[in-house]
A and B are shown apart, each in its own frame.
Chain A
């Protein structure tokens, strides 16, 4: 019963992407459901980041389809992806280091006064409130992002994605540079997002994180999703075996 209620928010069908002679994606299939956290795991170079970049519109796939809420797209662009409700925390964070925190959180979506002037005061107030809500430790709201620690910078990137998050939130290794406390805060945030009804994609190398948060795990190897399993059906060592290609799908 429960399973039937869930609608796929996004379906990827046979998506390919080449970079010169390198086949980064070799026909990827993936389904993401609303209200569910899907973990994508795989070795370095398996194509995880390339895949999510096609979903966020940063990269154009060479072939294949992306179906979002029943509509088929051959390719997306960042604007379209955002408008369709896909927000992404990129691995490189995509922050403008020489600008302050509020400016980064509102980048591309600055509130304006009199149609013309960026409402900086409102941006600062809202950014501060929002970061507090998220329990993120930001010492000085006017600081340039470049002056923050790695974890704090990730916090800003996560805050930006969630602040304007539509329906699908993608996290590409969101806690890689974070300390224990910060990553605990972000992980509980991701769990809450799943419970609130967002579709969530989490890319992670951390099996503990994956098993703690995700309902399903898609394993990528050499540019393909080789299997998708329910977290409750497998053990971390099964997943590691799938990543390295040592094991096959347990039935």
Chain B
């Protein structure tokens, strides 16, 4: 009996199934508590708000699956957004400005990746450093005040619609599909998980592990930069303080979604579902007029619980393999 329960708990899709159940229960409870919850416009609102979180969580899912972590995503989000804003203000065409902003973000990822993979620096502290560096850049460049007013073509990315669907939702959906395929069907995804599972084994199998590890940080930074693009376009404002503490939400979503904090296991679907859970929680708290700060508290708790669970699981595995 206990064994069976343990097996279910360790099953690959357990987290995802649990998240679906949580979503369902939350949905039912919230629709009783608030007459506004179960409306199409509210549902659509959640979807729209969550799209940026999903993109951030996906980048984080790759990094955590590979046994790393990236605390710099919130700062990269702001910094990339500001680079785009500057480029557009300088009269550079929108697509080029967007590309420049995303490349600027990816450069931070490259720095993170090279230091972590080549010099074997601690990912937590390295990305903490770049979190401060990128935020510092964003504040210095803007003199700490937001930049407003962008071309319509750019604003379309944040608030435009294709048919009935908001552009950010479409971008998030495309990224989810591509990332799912990348993680589960390509060599890059296989090596991401192998890096998290046993980096030395992968190296001994003749794989240039440092290149793959670096590319994962670049990918994560690219996701943060895309999130920055959407944020700036949506608000029509590039705020140097944008994306403050989004890394906690992203990490919480990733671990809640069943990605192992010690690496080797990752789930895109789980991360997406977890973003919806957190998004719905946010939404529910607002509808019930409870300060949204409670959501931060909840995210922090999830991270700590996931850490404890990972530690206990690792101990058990160590006992098994002596």
Contact = CB atoms under 8 A, between A and B. Distances in A.
A95 B187 contact: no
Contacts of A118: 185-187, 190
Contacts of A28: none
Contacts of B204: 56, 58, 78, 88, 90, 94
B185 A99 contact: no
B179 interface: no
Contact of B194 (A99, A120, A150): A99
B282 to A, nearest CB: 32
Given A58-B204, A88-B204, A110 B187 contact: yes
B186 A96 contact: no
Contacts of B181: 117
A234 interface: no
Given A97-B321, A98-B260, A108-B207, A103 B200 contact: no
Contact of A98 (B197, B207, B208): B197
A125 interface: no
A95 B197 CA distance: 9
A78 B265 CA distance: 25
A146 B321 contact: yes
Interface residues of B, number: 25
A176 interface: no
A113 to B, nearest CB: 9
Contacts of B320: 146
B317 A108 contact: no
Nearest to B185: A117
B187 A96 contact: no
A241 interface: no
Contacts of A82: 205-206
A107 interface: yes
Contacts of B205: 78, 82, 94, 107-109
Contacts of B208: 79
13 contacts: A58-B203, A79-B207, A81-B206, A88-B204, A94-B205, A95-B201, A97-B264, A97-B317, A98-B197, A107-B205, A108-B205, A108-B207, A109-B206
The 10 closest A-B pairs by CB, nearest first: A108-B205, A98-B264, A96-B197, A94-B201, A79-B206, A107-B205, A82-B206, A96-B198, A98-B197, A108-B207
Interface of B: 181, 185-187, 190, 193-194, 196-198, 200-208, 260, 264-265, 317, 320-321
